[in-house]
A = this chain, B = another copy of it.
Amino acid sequence: MSESSTANLRTRLREIIFGTDTRPGRAFDIALLVVIVASVVNLMLVSVAAIESRFGPVLHALEWLFTILFSIEYAVRIYAARRRWAYIRSFYGIIDLLSVLPLYLALILPSAHYFVAVRALRVMRIFRVLKLVRYANDANVLTRSLRHAQRKMQIFLGVLALVTVILGALMYVVEGPTHGFTSIPRSMYWAVVTITTVGYGDIAPATPAGQAIAGIAIMLGYALLAVTGGIITAELTNEISNERQLRQCPHCERSGHEIDAHYCKFCGGHLDKYEEEDPPADKEQAADRDKLD
């Protein structure tokens, strides 16, 4: 096979596997989506004892079929990717590998049981397909917003962790081992379950003093987290509003554009100058390609 025909094959495969504009590309995405969902459902069914005892062989054969399909897909993705190492080390590259590796490892290692959780990670592959097919805009906005809000989420987690440690230590001292608060870590588990308002009730304060302190601590923690959440929402609102106001069309100089808009909604010109040389049709795809291959 000549070098150019190999290059052609790679380009074609890349369009089908990574792209969404062509008909075969779209068909591939839909087929992949079906296979991913089927493989996750299969994983669930295997874990149900009543189903596994009746349909075990069929389900395990299906699991192997899905794994081989994903393995082929993974190999083809590496082959077709423009920048192979970039793909392998990318977020979705690692997810793709983790979708197939556990079953192969289970052949060698005895305690394959633990890999079920790793295999369930393949459900995240759905997001890649969805991102390209349907939820492109909204999901991008959400992803961008989440990246934007990452430090705010860390602060939220920090406040949560702080409350957990202090409340956990407090209740360990007040209630003590006789009522289930056998250690600070276990008491902190109770604190997490309580502060997030999950409240299983497997551990709960039983003495009047413990109930009084827990009651006050829950109120304070609840109000603190509610207001912290409110502050984060308020700041996000203003940041998004600010970003929109700052985003100005370089052609007509009007602002107020959505964060994920590529073109000016007033004059239709490119909002980002550096993208102007790209053909508009496959820009999204191009951006994706830049990231993955």
Contact = CB atoms under 8 A, between A and B. Distances in A.
A242 interface: yes
Interface string A152-171: 11111110111011101110
Contact of A156 (B154, B189, B223): B223
A268 interface: no
**Chain A interface secondary structure, helix, strand, loop or mixed?**
helix
A169 B231 contact: no
Interface string A192-203: 111011111110
Contact of A160 (B40, B142, B223): B223
A201 B204 CA distance: 9
Given A165-B123, A214-B189, A233 B235 contact: no
Contacts of A184: 43-44, 47-48, 116, 120
7 contacts: A113-B173, A116-B169, A135-B155, A146-B231, A193-B199, A199-B201, A237-B241
A57 to B, nearest CB: 18
B233 A218 contact: no
A183 B227 contact: no
Nearest to A237: B234
A219 B160 contact: yes
Given A40-B165, A48-B184, A240 B234 contact: yes
Contacts of A109: none
A226 interface: yes
A154 B186 CA distance: 31
A212 interface: yes
A38 interface: no
A228 interface: yes
Contacts of A138: 151-152, 155
Given A135-B154, A160-B219, 4 more contacts: A117-B169, A120-B166, A135-B158, A138-B155
